Each structure stands twice: as structure tokens, then as C-alpha cells.
Amino acid sequence: MKNTAAVITVKDLYKIYRVGETKVRALNGVEFAIRRGEFCSIVGASGSGKSTLLNMLAGLEKPTKGEIVIAGEHMERKNENELVRFRQAHIGFIFQSFNLMDTMNAVENVALPLTFQGMERKKRTKKAEAILDMVGLGSYKNHKPTQMSGGQQQRVGVARALVVEPEIIFADEPTGNLDSRTSREVMELMQRVVREKRQTLIMVTHDNELAGFADRIFHIRDGKIIKIEEQMGRETG
């Protein structure tokens, strides 16, 4: 296929924390490539290094050694300012605890990344409203986060990640604070949206069932990828 070029390439990635005298190898030589439009899960127990991997992919943490190339750019060579700029243009982020701004309503929250980009108010509001309609919150546009349920809040979170039309979306335990029914709904939403827009989604979770929504599942243990599972019968775009 034409669009199977890797959008993320990770080579020989190490992250070593120093705790007193001992060295903790959070990532111990990780290598993989993710194609455009893929939905990948990273599954592992707590302490396996999956969150560290995600943080490094998103440029929130620097690797000790190794290469991360996203959309043709080396993440490990960027300074913090450049990383912020890069995230602004290419990356959406979905948090476990939603992390919405309490003082802003749904539209303003969704439009926040556009505000950071310097888009004018009218334009960004229009865009944010369209995305809110898409995630099924059309009638909650002026609600503050405190007036919404957890599921609704996470939909706003998803909308916020999608609004800049990023190439890659990172999700860190996106359903960790939701009950199982709402979790499924949010997962289905993410799956649908990513398929429609041909965006790459990388999700970290410890739940094997939720991981099953993905096209590929990376199993990680003790800082190493021990298994990559291809979900057969799924369309990879």
C-alpha cells in the first residue's frame, strides 16, 4: 500500500533512571515502527515502562540513548521550546484524568490548542463546535467540566486532542477513570474518529480487553517489547 510509510520510528531506545546507587532500566532497548493511520496499544503491567515510552514519544521526557523519529523529525534532538512547537502542530494528547480547564466551557476547552496556535476567536470556536458535534456533545457546548459526567468530560478531552487535526494522537490510559460501559463508548469513539480521519493513535493501557480495540498490540515488560500482536481481520487502512 502506498501509505504504509512509518510515521513513527523508534530505534534502540534506552531510558535509565538513577535511584541512589542503583540504575533502573525503564526502557531497555526498544525498537519498532508505526505506520500512518495505525491504531496501536501499548500494554503492560504498572512499572513495565509503557508510560515512559509514551512520554518519550510525546517529547515530554528525554531518552538516555536512542532515536525517535516522528514525521521525519528527531524528537531527541529538540529543545523544550521546539518540542512545544512540534506538539502544537503534530500531536494531540488525551489524558487519564481529562485535565480540562475548570473555568472554561466545553467549546473553550476544545478550542484551547487553537488558542495557543494563535487562531482568531471566531474561527477556532467554529472548529471546536464542529468537533464537539462529531463526538456527540453538540448540546453540551456551554457546559463547564464540573457540569458533565466523566464520559462526557473525556469526550471533550478527545475533541480537544482532535481539534488541531494532528497526525498522531497519544492517549495515556484514556479510560482509566471511567466505568466499563463508558470506557467502551469512548474507545469506540476514538476508533471511529481515527479511522475516518486516517490519524495515528497510540494508546497506553493495562487493560487487555481495551487494548483489543487496536490494530496492533505491543506487549511490554521490564522495559522491553516482548510481543507484537496483529489483530487479524481488521482494516488497517
User: Rule CB under 8 A: is residue 152 a binding residue for other proteins?
Assistant: no
Minimum CB–partner distance for residue 181 and other proteins (Å) = 22
Site string for other proteins, 34-73 (x = CB under 8 A): -----------------x---x--x-xx------------
Single residue of 97, 142, 180, 208 touching other proteins by CB under 8 A: 97
User: Rule CB under 8 A: is residue 213 a binding residue for other proteins?
Assistant: no
Of the candidate spans 41-49, 81-89, 140-148, 226-234, the one that interacts with other proteins by CB under 8 A turns out to be: 81-89
Q: How many CA within 13 A on the CB side of residue 10?
A: 21
| CA dist 183 → 51, 66, 103 (Å) | 19, 34, 26
Q: Whole-angstrom Cα distance, residue 63 to residue 61?
A: 7
Minimum CB–partner distance for residue 196 and other proteins (Å) = 22
Q: How many CB atoms lie within 10 A of CB 166?
A: 21
Identify which of residues 109 and 216 has a Cβ nearer to other proteins in the complex.
Answer: 109
Q: Which of 73, 90, 36 is nearest to 200 (CA)?
A: 36
Q: Which of 182, 158, 200 is nearest to 57 (CA)?
A: 200
User: Rule CB under 8 A: is residue 120 a binding residue for other proteins?
Assistant: yes
User: Rule CB under 8 A: is residue 121 a binding residue for other proteins?
Assistant: yes
Single residue of 10, 57, 70, 96 touching other proteins by CB under 8 A: 96
Identify which of residues 50 and 216 has a Cβ nearer to other proteins in the complex.
Answer: 50
Identify which of residues 176 and 237 has a Cβ nearer to other proteins in the complex.
Answer: 176
Q: Which of 233, 236, 224 is nearest to 50 (CA)?
A: 224
Q: Are strands 65-70 and 73-74 parallel, antiparallel or unpaired?
A: antiparallel
Q: How many CA within 13 A on the CB side of residue 73?
A: 16
Q: Which of 149, 145, 136, 132 is nearest to 104 (CA)?
A: 145
> Which residue in the block uniquely carries the three cell numbers 463546535?
129
Residues contributing to the site for other proteins (CB under 8 A): 51, 55, 58, 60-61, 80-81, 84-85, 87-89, 91-93, 95-97, 99, 101-103, 112-113, 115-118, 120-121, 160-161, 164, 172
